[in-house]
Amino acid sequence: MPSLPSLSEMSAREALSFMRRKIQTLTVIYADTQDRITTLLMSGVPQTAAQQARMNDILKQVNREIVVLNQQARAWAGGAAKEAYQKGMDITSQTLSQLGYTGSGVNFGARMHVQAVNVIADQMTADLLTANGSILRNATRFVRSTQQALITEGEINRQIIGGLIEGKTRRDVSKLIERRLMDQIEGGRLLTINGRNYQPRSYAELVARTRTREATSRGTVNATTQAGVDLVQISDHGTDTPICQVYEGKTFSISGGHSDFPQLDRMPPFHPGCWHAILPVIENVLIRRDEYDQAVEASNQDLTEAQKKAKQKAA
Ligand SMILES: [Zn+2]
C-alpha cells in the first residue's frame, strides 16, 4: 500500500503513550491484590479443625479484597475513560489547528461527549468486575477443595466425560484436578476468562490498554464530527498485522456520506497491543498538498464487506 504522509506523527505517538501512568496505577492495584490473595490461599492446607476455621477466615478476607477491588476498579474506570477520551479531543483540536482549520471549535461540555464517556467507563467497569468475579470464584473453589480434600462429583464427571482423564479412579481424578487448581493458584493465575487463565495484573493491564485506546479514538472521532469535519486518517508505521493493514494509512469518512472515501467502520485499536492512532484530516489540505487522488486510491483498496455495502447504498 502506498504510504500517506503522516500528518501529525507526534500527536499519534503521544496519543498512544500518555495513558501509561494511568494504566500502571491499575496494574499495581491488581498486582498487589493478586499477591495478597495468592499468599492467603497458599498459606496452608487444613488438617485440623483450627486450620479449617482459618480457611473460612481466608475466604472472608478474599471476599473483602474483592469488594475493595470492585470499588477501585469502578473509580479507576471513571477517571481513565474521561482522561483518555479528552486526550482524543485534544489531539483533534491540535491537529485541526496544525492543518489551519478555522471552523467550529471543540468543547467537552457537549452532551454527546458526556454520554460517550459514560458508555466507555461502563464497559471498562464491566470488564474489570467480570475479572474480579472470576478471581473470587476460583479462590472459593480452591479453598473449598483444600478444605474438603475432594473435588465435586460434577467436576470429576465433566473431566471424565471430556475425555481428559482415562483409566483412572475417581480418587486419582480428584487429586489431578486439585493439583491443576493448585498450580494455577500458585502461579498467580487467579482468573479465568473464556477458558484461559490469567494473572490479574496482566489481565488488568490488557483491559486498561485496550479500553483507554478505544476511548481516545472515540474522543478523536466525536470531536472531529463536532468540529464539522468528516474525514479521518489512520496512522502508518508499516504494520505486518493483516487486520491493521486493511486500515493503515487510509482516509475514511466518519458519516459514510463522502463520495470518494469509504466509511469508517472500525477504529483503532484493531487488536490488543495495536499501535495505530486515528487523526482528523481536512479535504482542502489534501487537495492543496496534491495528495487527494493518491489518498482516494489508497483508501479504496481492500475494502471491508461493510464498507462495500455502504458504498453501494450511497451510489
Ligand atoms: Zn494496529
Render pLDDT for 28-45 as a digit per residue (tens, 0 to 9).
Answer: 999 999 999 988 887 766
- The pLDDT mean for the chain works out to 85
Cα 275 to averaged position of ligand 1 atoms, centre (Å): 5
Cα 114 to averaged position of ligand 1 atoms, centre (Å): 27
What local confidence, expressed as pLDDT, does residue 5 receive? 42
Cα 296 to averaged position of ligand 1 atoms, centre (Å): 21
Distance CA 65, CA 210 (A): 25
Written as one letter, the residue type at 160 is I
Q: Which is more confident, 9 or 171?
A: 171
Q: Give start and end residues of each alpha helix (H) in the chain.
A: 9-17, 20-41, 49-98, 111-148, 153-161, 170-186, 200-226, 242-245, 283-288, 292-299, 305-314
Distance CA 120, CA 314 (A): 30
Cα 91 to averaged position of ligand 1 atoms, centre (Å): 18
What local confidence, expressed as pLDDT, does residue 20 receive? 85
Give the pLDDT band of residue 305 (cuts 50, 70, 90): confident
Residue 185 makes CB contacts below 8 A (sequence gap 6+) with: 38, 41, 42, 138, 139, 142
Residues 234-281: tens digit of each pLDDT: 999 889 999 999 999 999 999 999 999 999 999 999 998 898 999 999
Q: Which is more confident, 96 or 5?
A: 96
Whether 124 has a pLDDT exceeding 70, the answer reads yes
Distance CA 205, CA 272 (A): 10
Give the pLDDT band of residue 296 (cuts 50, 70, 90): very high
What local confidence, expressed as pLDDT, does residue 159 receive? 65
Cα 301 to averaged position of ligand 1 atoms, centre (Å): 17
Cα 248 to averaged position of ligand 1 atoms, centre (Å): 8
Whether 151 has a pLDDT exceeding 60, the answer reads no
Q: Which is more confident, 136 or 157?
A: 136
Give the pLDDT band of residue 137 (cuts 50, 70, 90): very high
Mean pLDDT of 201-213: 94
Cα 265 to averaged position of ligand 1 atoms, centre (Å): 15
Cα 289 to averaged position of ligand 1 atoms, centre (Å): 26
Cα 178 to averaged position of ligand 1 atoms, centre (Å): 40
Cα 30 to averaged position of ligand 1 atoms, centre (Å): 26
Mean pLDDT of 61-82: 96
Counted residue by residue, the chain has a size of 315
Whether 83 has a pLDDT exceeding 90, the answer reads yes
Cα 151 to averaged position of ligand 1 atoms, centre (Å): 44
Mean pLDDT of 157-184: 68
Cα 19 to averaged position of ligand 1 atoms, centre (Å): 17
Bond before 200 cis per omega within 30 degrees: no
What local confidence, expressed as pLDDT, does residue 249 receive? 93
Whether 16 has a pLDDT exceeding 80, the answer reads no
Whether 93 has a pLDDT exceeding 70, the answer reads yes
| Range in 16-25, 44-53, 78-87, 284-293 with the lowest mean pLDDT | 44-53
Could you state, in order of their start, the residue ranges of all structural domains in the chain? 9-227
Share of the chain above pLDDT 90, in %: 56
Whether 291 has a pLDDT exceeding 70, the answer reads yes
CA 290 to chain centre: 38
Cα 268 to averaged position of ligand 1 atoms, centre (Å): 7
